[in-house]
Amino acid sequence: MSTRLNGQCMCGAVTVKAEPKRKSLSACHCDMCRRWSSGIFMAIDTVEGTVQVEGPVRVFQSSEWAERAFCERCGSNLWYRITAEGPGHGQYQLASGLFDVNGMHLGLEVFIDGKPDAYAFEGERKQMTGQEVFDIYAPKEEGDAQ
């Protein structure tokens, strides 16, 4: 997919350009995304080296392996990015709300075992548990990734 995305945060102070890796989005229900985004963090996986950001960004190291960024002015969630060495290192998972992505579809829900019973999307799609996600991203020799 070569469509380039042009987006901005709620107040417009931060602008983001990127090339999405695929034509689908993912929804994360993990505890950290839940607290951060009011519920579900909707992400767009991006092609490495294609993300351009301008504006007042504040970065928060939310775990030993990843950071989360937001607009310093309006507080819009901007991205989740793995900072640890290994699979996915440096890759931006951009907040879908920054862009008009109506041509895409919701293809995946991750940390489905962390989703509260309070809500559920209608329909069916691929779902992964937290352990299935950790099995992909966390080197097995490090033991308990959590």
Partner 1 sequence: MGERTGQCLCGAVTFRANVDGEIGACHCTQCQRWTGGGPLITVRVRDLKISGEDRISTHHASTWGERAVCRTCGSTLFWRMQGKPIAYIAVGLLDDQTGLNVTEEIFVDYRPTWMPPFEGASQSTEAQEMAKLATYLAEHET
Binding residues for partner 1, rule: CB under 8 A, are 8-11, 25, 32-43, 58, 60, 62, 68-70, 73-78, 95-98, 101-102, 104-106, 116-123
Least distance in angstroms from the C-beta of 106 to partner 1: 5
Query: CB-wise, 96 or 138, nearer to partner 1?
Result: 96
Specify burial of residue 103 (Cβ count, 10 A radius: 0-12, 13-18, 19+): exposed
Q: Residues 6 or more apart from 120 whose CB is under 8 A from it?
A: none
Least distance in angstroms from the C-beta of 47 to partner 1: 19
Least distance in angstroms from the C-beta of 14 to partner 1: 10
Query: CB-wise, 50 or 62, nearer to partner 1?
Result: 62
Long-range pairs for 106-109: beta carbons < 8 A, 24 or more residues apart: 106/24, 106/25, 106/26, 106/27, 106/42, 107/22, 107/24, 107/25, 107/26, 108/24, 108/25, 108/26, 108/27, 109/26, 109/27, 109/28, 109/29
Least distance in angstroms from the C-beta of 140 to partner 1: 27
Query: CB-wise, 4 or 58, nearer to partner 1?
Result: 58
Query: CB-wise, 64 or 141, nearer to partner 1?
Result: 64
